[in-house]
A and B are shown apart, each in its own frame.
Chain A
């Protein structure tokens, strides 16, 4: 079985500052990795995904993440955040069949003006 640990439940950051949201996973098989964003009272929107190939993945809204197999991590980064980035961020894994996603408990990103 797979599991995901998001190391920070809340991350406050000033506007235009860089941010990193941390994610570690556990799995006995190869996995696909994802980051989703959830705005209040909305569903999940895909930010980016790692399936194979380059370990640096670029997503929407200026976000990127790096897959590190030896450290079983998939941390999300943005060089300069905006007020509109305030939201809940979820890291998730799935096995290659993609039938079931395992989500972390989420990180609440608050951008301070």
Chain B
């Protein structure tokens, strides 16, 4: 049974560009959350998607947006990239209202 799959695993972008990260949740999961983990820090909550809508959002600017598709997969979009957006982006999935999340291995984004 595949867990949470994220793509790509690594990417390098230039400041000011836009990026899209993708996440396929674990089979049977319908809720997807995104976290940003800066180097040497704990993950920080970006937002959560359920039933194709953003259910809750953390303290991140509007440059961060997302989408959930009918098959429960999700995308994270970041516009106007800043150097400070360099981080590991983690996707986590669960069943609705179940606090047992499964995390993916993440996408390492480097902004130069």
- Residue A67 at the chain B interface, CB threshold 8 Å: no
> Could you write out 30 A-B pairs with CB less than 8 Å apart?
A4-B42, A34-B99, A41-B105, A42-B105, A42-B106, A43-B4, A43-B105, A43-B106, A44-B43, A44-B92, A46-B100, A49-B99, A90-B42, A90-B43, A94-B99, A97-B97, A99-B48, A99-B56, A100-B48, A100-B58, A101-B33, A101-B35, A101-B43, A103-B42, A103-B43, A104-B42, A105-B40, A105-B41, A106-B40, A106-B42
Neighbour of A98 across the interface among B35, B42, B58, B98, CB < 8 A:
B98
Asked if A102 is an interface residue, CB under 8 A from chain B, the answer is yes
Q: Which residues of B contact A42 (CB under 8 A)?
A: 105-106
Q: How far is the CA of A104 from the CA of B45 in the complex (A)?
A: 12
If A44-B43, A101-B45, A102-B45 touch, whether A49 touches B103 (CB-CB below 8 Å) is no
Closest 6 CB pairs of A and B: A103-B42, A98-B99, A43-B103, A44-B103, A99-B56, A43-B105
Q: Does B110 reach chain A (CB closer than 8 Å)? A: no
The number of chain B residues with a CB under 8 A from chain A is 25
Which B residues touch A63, using CB under 8 A? none
